[in-house]
Structure 1
Amino acid sequence: MPTTPRGTPHTEIAAYLRQLIEDGALQPGQQLPSMREMREQFNASPGTVNRAFQLLKTEGLTYAKAGVGTVIAERPRVAATGAARLKRLETTGNPFAPGESSADHRARLTSLADPYLAENLGVEPHDEVVLRTRTYLRAGEPTVVALSCIHPRALESMPELLEPGPSERFWQEIYTERTGKEISRSPERRTARLASDGELQMLGVQAPPNAAVPVLVLVNVFHDEDGPIEVWEDVYTPGYWQIEGERP
């Protein structure tokens, strides 16, 4: 039986198929595996498989096509989560979902004014931290602004963190190789807040100056043996949603 996130039987099947869709193993227009295949693969009842299929339809990931069956839907308003990118990097060596790319990579030392981020990173408000930002795009359209706040102690072994542009390897892997310190991630959290003018500009959102634009934000916190080392914030373009994340 495939390894899937823990949950009820129908959510486990849905999670397995959802991952295939997210990784590009199942492409838009392609037929979903048959109910019989899923019953045999998961040793599940017809009702359980049917509930899984209905869940995917409810999420807008599949639809019924006359004369064909259940097929994968186009998903122009879906963006991957940070946790999904890490899983994809581990399993495929590629962090991008099908049709996804990144741009506008920036890096600098900055004063961290956000008390929430400062608390999660284990620094005082207005302490200097490394801030790396980038924009993820799907089919050329901005979907997520990713902000990485990195504890300044990481610069001792990773001075290249201040270099703009994408890195060839995930910086945490290099950090572990150089220091021997393993990095772990806390469960991904979801919240909402108002987007800054800079974030709206990076997302290509046209709004009046100082307009209150609420956005979905996913937060990942990373630790090594010395404490918090990095905090991610993934800020979603209004109208986008995510399908891949951790389940309880």
Structure 2
Amino acid sequence: MTPAPEKKQDRRPPYQHAADELRRDIRSGRFKPGEQMPSVRELQERFGVANMTARSALNVLRDEGLIYTIHGRGSFVADVGGAAGEFTAEYNPPAWYLAKDGKETGPEERAGEGESASSTVTEMSLVQFLTELRDEVRALSAEHQELRREVEELKRAQQQGPRS
């Protein structure tokens, strides 16, 4: 009787294993767009790897456009239309962008320093404009999550009452 063939060991570095697992979690919907990813420490524990290995796994996902990082806050799942992190062909520009008469409100109110939004938008491509807008929304989403956490902490502290 011949012995069962041994499993061939995967020779990929551990950070690639971790990145693959996290990528599967993102694509399966376990981590939703805008949701904060586990911390580096949590990834260390989950995968049994060193700090730099966990960071390298996150760097791979960031390079692929699946996550983005806000310094001091953490990494968050990107809201991408396509697999490569690009906007999809089905994208429809918002009404304020398409409006020529300027009656609808939108980023033109925030254009600042004497610039009109129409000149700002025409100077850069639509994809560049949307990329900047997406980054701004991501930052606001992260701030929103942080504020929600703070509110929850305040509620818990209030429920515990004053400490004597």
TM over 0.5: no
Larger Rg computed on CA atoms: 2
- Bigger fraction of residues in helix: 2
- Bigger fraction of residues in strand: 1
Q: TM-score range by the shorter chain?
A: 0.3 to 0.5
What TM-score results when the alignment is normalised by the length of structure 1? Answer: 0.29
Name the structure, 1 or 2, with higher relative contact order (CA <8 Å, separation 6+): 1
